[in-house]
Each structure stands twice: as structure tokens, then as C-alpha cells.
């Protein structure tokens, strides 16, 4: 990993209470709240939690804005608030997730990672963290061929995992559409214009590297349960070129349709984003590295596959990672572990691992 991706923001000259001292309540503004905000920002922007480099994030440019947002919380003595649009549904690609449609150990590990981040924040700022997860699955499900009932089942199960992890005090979940309605945002009048913009993008970007990357990402989200895991894996590799083998012309047409439809949905998300109104004192985090945004690791540093794009796998040292199902299912040194009453694996574990996977499962 490049040095620029590892570096942490420089520490400000010390003007704080004794080293290691935990700042307590009440939070009455002034020096104590300023120090708390500085410490929390130092933690959030450290390479342990921050994805990508400080340069790509343009940290120097946006630092004051992030700090001002944090200080609104520390002055009021309320939990630091982050929003994260994530966990829409298990992507319906058998090469990535097998036949599972519900969250598994990948999502549970992400919940525990966020819970641990909250505990770290609470060590330096006692009100701790409130993570507001916004599920956008209902908005984008039809684009990728996912039934709404499947989305709701995923969200419900995700909520159960939050409860099982004891993270309900740190993590709350919301539906994107409901937040839009609650904040009075109606994209309907702008849809024709946004469709025209999507059509313009299609005409003038087709075949470019960015378009090919979009093709590959869209194929990775598309419902492909009608093909075998092996065939789905081959299509994932072929999609990097921006096209599929001739015998999959119908699938390629579906990818094109989904690319256009998602372009429209993504424009709705960004042009009619309810987060600033619903959570005015929050840092709006993301999972994708981009300028001006705090991008977060969801499993641990260096674990790039998002939980809903794969399955939870426990290696022989007891570390949990997110892997594609095609990488672990059927391997002679791995075994599938299912929860009682479920017919799809909750995780995959090394046969000779040092950690009993039962210790990692929800209570």
C-alpha cells in the first residue's frame, strides 16, 4: 500500500488536559468541546478507519468543515453523528454470495467494527458515536432485478444482527425513501430532466474507461441467479472489458438497461439527498474514496470487498474477511457454517483454524 494511503493527519500542538485523560461531561462549549472535536477527527481520519489517502480525500481543504460539524456535537454534548448509505441487499450474483439473500458474518463483522469505532470514540469523548445507516435498497432494487420483499427481509435480518451484537445504542437504521418523504423532498418534477442527463451521459461516454468500469460494476450487482456460480464468475471477469461473450447478449442488454436506470437513481440520490436535512449535525461518510468525503473501512483496514458483495470467511488465524463465494465454497480446506433453521451458509471457516467459528456467530 502506498505511503500516501497510510499517513495520518498531523497532530495539532497539544493544548489539552493530561495525556490519556478522558474528557467528560458536561459539555459546555469552549476549550473542552474544541479539544474533543480535534481528538475525534484525529481518530476518524487515521488510516485505521479512513479508506484512501488524505490527498485523495482533500483533507486539508475540508478539514475545517469536518471539524465544525464535530464541534456542533461536542458543544451540545451529544454523540458524534455519522451517516452511511450502505447495506442495500445481498447482491444477487451467485459467484459473489452463493445462494444467500440475507446478511451473514460479513455484515455482522461490519457491525462489530463500527461498534468498536464507537467504543474508541467514547474513550476520548464520553457521549460516543451514533451511526445512522441509510438503506437505499428499496430505491435501487428494481434496477438490478431484486424483489422488494427480499430487500425488506435483508433489512429486518440486519436489524436483528445489530441487536444480537449489542450495537443498538450505537447504530440506527433508516430507509432512504422514508427519509426523503420526511424531509419533504420530491424528485418527481425533476425526473424528465435527470433522464435527459442520463441519456446524454450514455451517448457521449460509451466505450470510455469510465463507462467500462460502470459496466463491470453494474454486472456485479445484477441478478444472475439463473446462471451457475461458475458462469457468473466468468462473466464478472469478462465484464472488465465493457462487454460479454456473444452467447450472453441478453445479459449484456440487461446490463445496459441497468446502467441507464442506475444513473437516474444515483442522480436522484445526489440531487435529492435527505441526509443534510435529516441529520444536520452529521458527517456524511461513504464507502467509496472521493474528494471531500470521509470514506470508511467497514471490516478492517485493507478489506476492500463490501459486506453485501460477498460472504464472511474465517481464515485459519481467526480473522474474518469478506470473500467472493466462488473463492471459498467447495474448497477442501474450508467448510460452510449455517445457523440453526437456515439453509444457506452464514459463513465459511478454515477446517484447521485456531478459532471456533461458533464464537463469532450471533447469540
Mean pLDDT by 10 residues, the chain (363 residues): 46 43 51 94 96 93 96 96 98 97 97 96 97 97 97 98 96 96 95 96 95 97 96 96 96 98 96 96 94 93 91 91 94 93 94 77 77
HSE-CB at 50 with a 13 A cutoff on CA atoms is 27
Cβ-count burial 156-182 (b if 16+ within 10 Å, e if not): eebbebbeebebeebbebbbbeebbee
State the pLDDT at residue 124: 95
Question: What pTM was computed for the model?
Answer: 0.90
State the pLDDT at residue 165: 95
State the pLDDT at residue 14: 43
**Where in the chain are the domains?**
30-185+273-299, 189-270
What is the strand order of the sheet 320-323 is part of?
320-323, 311-314, 347-350, 334-337
What are the backbone dihedrals phi and psi of residue 175, each rounded to the nearest 5 degrees, phi first? Answer: -100, 130
State how far the Cα of 216 lies from the Cα of 187, in Å rounded to an integer: 28
- CB 40 within 8 Å of CB 124: yes
- Per-residue HEC secondary structure of the chain comes to CCHHHHCCCCCCCCCCCCCCCCECCCCCCHHHHHHHHHHHHHHHCCCCCECCCHHHHCHHHHHHHHHHHHHHHHHHCCCEEEEEECCCCCCCCHHHHCCCCCCCHHHHHHHHHHHHHHHHHHHHECCCEEEEEEECHHHHHHHHCCCHHHHHHHHHHHHHHHHHCCCCCCEEEEEHHHHHHHCCCCCHHHHHHHHHHHHHHHHHHCCCHHHHHHHHHHHHHCCCCCCCHHHHHHHHHHHHHCCCCHHHHHHHHHHHHHHHHHHHHHHHHHHCCCHHHHCCCEEEEECCCCCCCCEECCCCCCCCCCHHHCEEEECCCCCEEEECHHHHCCCCCEEEECCCCCCCCCEEEECCCCCCHHHHCCC
Nearest to 82 by CA among 274, 299, 275, 272: 275
334-337/347-350 β-pairing: antiparallel
State the pLDDT at residue 28: 47
- Nearby residues of 341 by Cβ (< 8 Å), 6 or more positions away: none
Report the topology of domain 30-185+273-299: Rossmann fold (3.40.50)
State the pLDDT at residue 358: 73
- CB 62 within 8 Å of CB 50: no
> Hey, how many other C-beta atoms are within 10 angstroms of the C-beta on 351?
10
- CB 360 within 8 Å of CB 353: no
State the pLDDT at residue 3: 37
Amino acid at each position: 500500500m502506498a505511503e500516501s494511503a497510510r499517513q495520518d493527519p498531523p497532530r495539532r500542538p497539544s493544548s489539552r488536559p493530561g495525556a490519556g485523560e478522558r474528557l467528560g461531561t458536561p459539555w459546555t462549549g469552549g476549550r473542552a468541546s474544541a479539544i474533543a472535536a480535534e481528538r475525534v477527527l484525529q481518530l476518524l481520519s487515521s488510516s485505521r478507519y479512513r479508506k484512501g489517502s488524505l490527498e485523495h480525500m482533500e483533507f486539508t481543504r475540508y478539514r475545517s468543515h469536518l471539524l465544525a460539524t464535530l464541534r456542533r456535537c461536542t458543544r451540545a454534548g451529544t454523540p458524534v453523528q455519522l451517516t452511511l448509505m450502505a447495506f442495500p441487499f445481498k447482491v444477487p450474483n451467485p459467484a459473489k454470495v452463493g445462494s444467500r439473500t440475507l446478511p451473514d458474518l460479513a455484515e455482522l463483522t461490519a457491525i462489530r467494527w463500527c461498534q468498536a469505532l464507537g467504543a474508541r470514540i467514547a474513550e476520548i469523548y464520553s457521549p460516543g458515536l451514533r451511526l445512522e445507516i441509510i438503506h437505499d435498497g428499496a430505491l435501487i432494487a428494481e434496477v438490478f432485478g431484486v424483489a422488494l420483499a427480499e430487500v425488506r427481509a435483508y433489512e429486518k435480518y440486519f436489524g436483528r444482527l445489530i441487536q444480537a451484537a449489542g450495537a443498538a445504542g450505537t447504530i440506527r437504521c433508516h430507509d432512504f425513501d422514508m427519509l426523503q418523504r420526511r424531509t419533504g423532498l420530491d424528485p418527481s418534477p425533476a425526473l424528465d430532466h435527470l433522464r435527459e442527463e442520463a441519456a446524454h451521459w450514455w451517448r457521449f461516454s460509451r466505450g470510455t474507461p469510465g463507462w467500462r468500469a460502470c459496466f463491470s460494476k453494474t454486472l456485479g450487482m445484477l441478478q444472475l441467479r439463473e446462471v451457475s456460480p461458475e458462469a457468473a464468475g466468468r462473466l464478472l471477469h469478462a465484464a472488465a472489458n465493457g462487454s460479454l461473450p456473444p452467447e450472453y447478449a441478453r445479459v449484456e442488454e440487461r446490463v445496459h438497461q441497468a446502467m441507464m436506470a442506475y444513473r437516474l437513481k444515483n442522480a436522484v440520490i445526489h440531487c435529492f439527498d435527505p441526509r443534510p436535512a435529516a441529520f444536520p449535525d452529521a458527517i456524511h461518510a461513504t464507502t467509496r474514496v472521493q474528494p471531500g468525503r470521509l470514506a470508511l473501512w467497514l471490516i478492517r483496514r485493507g478489506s476492500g470487498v463490501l459486506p453485501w458483495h460477498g460472504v464472511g470467511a474465517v481464515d485459519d488465524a481467526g480473522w474474518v474477511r469478506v470473500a467472493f463465494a466462488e473463492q471459498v465454497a467447495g474448497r477442501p480446506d474450508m467448510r460452510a457454517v449455517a445457523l440453526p433453521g437456515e439453509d444457506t451458509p452464514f459463513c465459511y471457516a478454515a477446517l484447521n483454524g485456531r478459532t471456533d467459528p461458533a464464537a463469532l456467530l450471533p447469540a
